[in-house]
Amino acid sequence: MSWNPELYLTFDDHRLRPALDLIARIPLDGVRRIVDLGCGPGNVEPHLAARWPSAEIVGVDNAPSMLERAGQDYPRFKWVLGDIAAWRADAPVDLIFSNAALQWLDDHERLFPHLLDQVAPGGALAIQMPRNFSAPSHVAIRETIENGPWRERLAPLVRPEPVRSPESYHRMLAPHARTLDVWEIEYLQVLSGQDPVVTWTRATALRPYLDALEAGARSAFEAEYRARVRVGYPPEPDGRTLFPFKRVFVVAGK
């Protein structure tokens, strides 16, 4: 899947806020090593460093374009190209952090306890994932796929519920964690610009489907999707668009 750092950072303030909320809820001091799984363009790393200034911080991502941007903007951190689904620590880590990345991976029942196993005693696994898949922005993706000539090509890519309920993650991790804090927030995001919800999803949720289509079909697919999204998110009188967005958070202590 292709990633465009510039497009991803279009709404940097809204994408960064959940990461800051997650950092604020991690009850750790004296952290020596942090691994950020799915670090993207690296814009969270300075905030991790501000909270734990003595820590070594390593960002891991499978997108060369994202890591290139991260290396340019934040050369003082270490960046590693790798598959976070197969990642394993070479030594226990004080903090494994992941912001808006693990929703791309399946089998959370195996993955999350596996990641907690890589945490050093007294450390933590901290995760934030979007859980907006039943919102009009994401329902419109599935409806566009189902009602178009690209259905056969795109239907196998659909993952209706990549992220489970908070209760599911509590049950998943409670047998393995010393402490466990799981919660959910719905942010009321106020976006500016023309069709901003489409701009948002083009950077993330829409990306694998657009990548799977040729140029002509891609344009037609996006046009149909755009029409559906306009119905779901009409602009306010001031021209801005309200985009409620739900996210789930996990902090598991080892």
- Count how many domains the chain has: 1
pTM (predicted TM-score): 0.93
3-state secondary structure of 148: coil
DSSP secondary structure string for all residues of 49-112: HHHSTT-EEEEEES-HHHHHHHHHH-TTSEEEE--TTT---SS-EEEEEEES-GGGSS-HHHHH
Q: Determine the pLDDT at residue 20.
A: 94
Domain extent, residue 114, equals 5-253
Residues of the chain with pLDDT under 70: 1-11
Instruction: Fill in the amino acid letter for 27.
Output: P
pLDDT of residue 13: 81
Burial of 141 (0-12, 13-18, 19+ CB in 10 A): buried
Tokens representing 1 are 């899947």
Distance of CA 123 to the CA centre of its chain: 22
The domain that holds 249 is classified in CATH as 3.40.50.150
